[in-house]
C-alpha cells in the first residue's frame, strides 16, 4: 500500500489496501485507483461519490465502472465529469439490447435522459454526436435531441438518426428550425421525396444547396422544377442544380434563363439533351447575354460547327465562346477519329470546323486532308500553341483558313470567325 501511495503503481493493491486508499489516500492515489478496470465494483461506486472531481472523472472514463456508478455521475456538479460520461455513453448502451426491463437498462436510460436534459449545450451536443446512429436509444430521446434549440445538438441527430422517419422530419421542418439544422436534414442519406420537398419550400439558401448536392436524396420532378423557379436569386444553387443526375424538361428551360453560358454548356454535356433542345438553350443564353452582336450572328445560328480539342477545359471554354458569338449547333469532341466520324455521319452538314493542331490520335493536317477529300470548301480553323511565322505559313500552305494561337482571346476568335464569314460573301 505504501508503495502505491508513493507513486509506484506497478502492482495493484489488495482489496483491503484499496479500501484504505479510497478512504484515506491522497488525490493522485485515489484517481489512479479509480481508473483501474479490474477494481471491485463497490469501490468504483464509492469513488463515484469522491469529493474530488478528478477522481469522479476517472470513474466516468472507466469502462468497467458499474452502471449505478455512472448513474450517479450523470447528475454530477462538475461539468467535465458529465462531459466525460457523455463522450463514453456508447459503452453503456449495449445493456439496452439485453433486457429492456432490467435494472441495468433502467439505469442506462436514466443516464441518457439526464444528459439529454443537461443545462449545458456542450454536454447535450456530445451526447447527440455519440448516439446519432444508434437504434436502441429511446425514441423520445432521439426526438428531444433532434428538436433541441441549439443546432450543435440537433444537427447530428437530424442528419444521421435512424429513429427519425419522414413524417417526423417533415414535422420538425414545419417548426421553423435554424438553417444549420435544416441543412443537416438535407444531407441525410436517401432522403425521402416528401422531406426533400419540405426542405425546398423553406427556400433556405444553405439547406437547398445541401439538398441539391446530396445525390442520394430522392428529389421529385416537381421539387426540382420548384427549385429552378426560385434559383435565380440563389447563385449557390446553380451549379448543384444542373449537376443533379436528372433534371425535368421544365427545370432545364428555367435554368437557362439565368445561369452562365458555362453552366448551360455543362448542363448540355451532362444531360445528353436532344439537339433541338440544345439549340434552344444556347439561343436563350445568346439572346440574354449578348448586347453587342456580330453582323454575322444570324448566320452563326444557322450553321453547325464541329470543334475538336483534346483539353477538356479548353474545349469547354471554346464551347462557351462560340455560344456567346451566336453558334447554337456545336458538336464538340476530344479526338480526331471521333471528329471524322461525326463529320461523315451527321445528316446536317458541318459549316465550320475548329481543330487543335495536335490531337492525341491525329494531327491537324491529317484531319484537314481527310476533310478536304469530302468537302473542298469547308472553312477550317486551326488552334495551335506554335507562335512562329514558319508554323503559320505551313498551316496556310496545307489549306488552313484561319490560325488561332492558344491560349486564345474571345476578341481574336471573333475576328477569325468573322473573317471566314466575310469571305463567304455574307
pTM of the model: 0.85
In the three-class reduction of DSSP (H, G, I as helix; E, B as strand; rest coil), residue 330 is classed as strand
Burial class (CB in 10 A: 0-12, 13-18, 19+), 169: buried
Residue 379 lies in a domain: yes
Residue 324 lies inside a defined structural domain of this protein: yes
Asked whether the beta carbons of 204 and 182 are under 8 A apart, the reply is yes
Would you give the DSSP letter of residue 387?
-
The Cα–Cα gap between 325 and 158 comes to: 48
C-alpha cell at 383: 488552334
Report if residue 178 sits inside a domain.
no
DSSP per position, 200-248? HHHT-HHHHHHHHH-TTS---HHHHHHHHHHGGG-HHHHHHHHTSS---
How many of the other CB atoms lie within 10 Å of CB of 100? 12
pLDDT in tens, 80-110: 999 999 999 999 988 887 766 688 889 999 9
The predicted pLDDT at position 99 comes to 67
Tell me how far CA of residue 160 lies from CA of 155, 217, 423, in angstroms. Answer: 8, 14, 65
Residue 43 · residue 22 · CB < 8 Å: yes
Task: Classify residue 100: in a domain, yes or no.
Answer: no
Is residue 69 one of the residues assigned to a domain? no
Total residue length of the chain: 426
Look at residue 391 in the predicted model and tell me its pLDDT.
83
> What pLDDT was estimated at residue 241?
97
What phi and psi, each to the nearest 5 degrees, are found at residue 383?
-100, 130
The verdict on residue 188 lying in a domain is: no
Q: Is residue 244 part of a domain?
A: no
**8 Å CB contact between 157 and 177:** no
Q: Do strands 350-356 and 304-308 pair parallel, antiparallel, or not at all (unpaired)? A: parallel
Stretches where the chain sits below pLDDT 70 are 1-10, 99-101, 291-292, 426
| 375-378, Cβ contacts within 8 angstroms, sequence gap of 24 or more | 375/349, 375/350, 378/350, 378/351, 378/352, 378/353
What's the structural domain count of the chain?
1
Alpha carbon distance 19, 391 (integer Å) = 94
Residue at 291 is within a domain? yes
Max CA separation in the chain (angstroms):
109
Spatial CA neighbour of 313 closest among 407, 238, 216: 407
What pLDDT is stored for residue 157 in this prediction?
98
144 within 8 A of 116, measured Cβ to Cβ: yes
pLDDT value at position 100?
Answer: 64
396 lies in which domain range?
260-426
What CATH number should be reported for the domain holding residue 339? 3.40.50.2300
Please, are residues 216 and 191 in contact by the beta-carbon 8 Å criterion? yes
Q: How are the residues of the chain apportioned to helix, strand and coil, as percentages rounded to the nearest 5? A: 60, 5, 35
Q: What's the confidence (pLDDT) of residue 39?
A: 92
- What pLDDT is stored for residue 3 in this prediction? 61
Amino acid at each position: 500500500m505504501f508503495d502505491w501511495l508513493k507513486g509506484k503503481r506497478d502492482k495493484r493493491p489488495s482489496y483491503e489496501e484499496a479500501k484504505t486508499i479510497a478512504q484515506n489516500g491522497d488525490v493522485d492515489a485515489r484517481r489512479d485507483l479509480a481508473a483501474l478496470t479490474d477494481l471491485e465494483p463497490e469501490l468504483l461506486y464509492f469513488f463515484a461519490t469522491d469529493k474530488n472531481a478528478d477522481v469522479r472523472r476517472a470513474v466516468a472514463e472507466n469502462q468497467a465502472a458499474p452502471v449505478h456508478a455512472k448513474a450517479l455521475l450523470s447528475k454530477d456538479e462538475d461539468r467535465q465529469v458529465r462531459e466525460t460520461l457523455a463522450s463514453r455513453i456508447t459503452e453503456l448502451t449495449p445493456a439496452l439490447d439485453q433486457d429492456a426491463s432490467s435494472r441495468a437498462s433502467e439505469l442506462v436510460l436514466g443516464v441518457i435522459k439526464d444528459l439529454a436534459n443537461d443545462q449545458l449545450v456542450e454536454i447535450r451536443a456530445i451526447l447527440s454526436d455519440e448516439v446519432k446512429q444508434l437504434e436502441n436509444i429511446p425514441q423520445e430521446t432521439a426526438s428531444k435531441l433532434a428538436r433541441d434549440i441549439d443546432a450543435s445538438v440537433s444537427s447530428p441527430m437530424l442528419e444521421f438518426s435512424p429513429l427519425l422517419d419522414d413524417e417526423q422530419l417533415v414535422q420538425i421542418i414545419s417548426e421553423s428550425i435554424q438553417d444549420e439544422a435544416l441543412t443537416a436534414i438535407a444531407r441525410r442519406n436517401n432522403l425521402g421525396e416528401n422531406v426533400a420537398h419540405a426542405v425546398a419550400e423553406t427556400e433556405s439558401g444553405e439547406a437547398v444547396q445541401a439538398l441539391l448536392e446530396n445525390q442520394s436524396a430522392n428529389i421529385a420532378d416537381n421539387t426540382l422544377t420548384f427549385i429552378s423557379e426560385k434559383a435565380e436569386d440563389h447563385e449557390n444553387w446553380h451549379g448543384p442544380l444542373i449537376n443533379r443526375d436528372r433534371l425535368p424538361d421544365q427545370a432545364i428551360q428555367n435554368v437557362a434563363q439565368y445561369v452562365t453560358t458555362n453552366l448551360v454548356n455543362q448542363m448540355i454535356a451532362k444531360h445528353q439533351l436532344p439537339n433541338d433542345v440544345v439549340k434552344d438553350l444556347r439561343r436563350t443564353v445568346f439572346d440574354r447575354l449578348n448586347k453587342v452582336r456580330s453582323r454575322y450572328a444570324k448566320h452563326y445560328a444557322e450553321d453547325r460547327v464541329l470543334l475538336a480539342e483534346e483539353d477538356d477545359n479548353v474545349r469547354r471554354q471554346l464551347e462557351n465562346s462560340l455560344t456567346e458569338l451566336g453558334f447554337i449547333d456545336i458538336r464538340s469532341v476530344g479526338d480526331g477519329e471521333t471528329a471524322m466520324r461525326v463529320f461523315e455521319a451527321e445528316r446536317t452538314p458541318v459549316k465550320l470546323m475548329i481543330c487543335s493542331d495536335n490531337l492525341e490520335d491525329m494531327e491537324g493536317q491529317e484531319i484537314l486532308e481527310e476533310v478536304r477529300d469530302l468537302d473542298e470548301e469547308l472553312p477550317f480553323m486551326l488552334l495551335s500553341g506554335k507562335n512562329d511565322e514558319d508554323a503559320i505559313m505551313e498551316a496556310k500552305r496545307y489549306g488552313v483558313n484561319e490560325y488561332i494561337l492558344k491560349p486564345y482571346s474571345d476578341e481574336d476568335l471573333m475576328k477569325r470567325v468573322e473573317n471566314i464569314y466575310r469571305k463567304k460573301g455574307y
